[in-house]
Amino acid sequence: MKILVTGGAGFIGSNLVEELIKENSVIVLDNLHSGSLDNLKEAKEKIKIINDSCNNICKLKLPKVDIIFHLGIPSSSPMYKQNPLLVGEAINGSINVFEYAKKEKVKKVIFASSSSLYNGLQPPHNENMDIKVTDYYTEARFCIERIAKLYNVLYGVKSVGLRFFSVYGPHEEAKGKYANIVSQFLWEMKKGKSPIIYGDGTQKRDFVFVKDVVKACLLLMNLEFEYDVFNVGTGNSYSFNDVVNILNNKLNTNLKPTHIEMPIKNYVDHTLADTRKIRSLGYQFEYSLEEGIDEIISSKK
């Protein structure tokens, strides 16, 4: 198949591209806001890369594609707090992607949503929960889900939204301070530095390794939907203190975290995916947190 990946030079996108090129023709559209061409160095000979914004997708002369993975959406809540106008950019970029899919009769759009939609809700988090108003990032992602549904209702554009939980893995370096806490702690501890934790470290996340996220993307690419959303997580959660302990064990270090006062309003205390819906399709995550950390430590990507 011919596949377009927006945000394909980013963290999740580049991991997805590396898998897609094994059996498909791939085009990457990325403005390199939080991605890097270095993430695609192992795939660059097999793909076409377009350095541009999703907002311009309808103006570009792209080859006809069968599937669009729309991952090119600003992906961290602090980005939106610093610049609320990103809400409009994220929504308008997605509208342009759905307009393109409508015009070119693309078979399906698979787009990135977020577990942040569950902010303020008690875990485990399932797809039928009523979403609360909590922050700019959440509003952008929820709006994109509703717009995707609208394009299906009005124009028959098929799509699937993936509510990613706390994704970590190779290719996060370009994200810098917006990278997953697992990677940030690992980078600091490998330098012999104490990881910094807001609060007491008992906050928990459902950490999901990026290869399991890619696995979910490929599964849903090959199934038929009009419109739907799915959690992509493990159904297990670990505290930040747990992460530090695991990393100390893996690195043979004994670094204690530095705890500082929580500066964030509406901070998410606990995420935990209810995975029954995606498991009903045959999905099973493969990597425990310990196994995922082993892969990052050994990875040269």
User: Between the CA of residue 120 and those of 25, 71, 201, what are the distances in Å?
Assistant: 41, 25, 18
Q: Cα(11)–Cα(5) distance, rounded to whole angstroms?
A: 12
* Beta strands per DSSP E along 148-270: 159-164, 166-168, 196-198, 204-205, 207-209, 227-232, 238-239, 258-260
Q: What letter would DSSP give residue 66?
A: S
Q: What is the residue type of 125? A: H
| 89-99: burial string, b at 16+ Cβ within 10 Å, e else | bbbebbbbbbe
Instruction: Quickly count: other Cβ atoms within 10 Å of residue 2's Cβ.
Output: 14
Q: Do 61 and 103 touch, CB atoms closer than 8 A?
A: no
Q: Kindly list the catalytic residues.
A: 137
* Residue 189 parent element (H or E): helix 181-190
Quote the CA–CA distance of 60 and 276 in Å, as a whole number.
39
DSSP 156: -
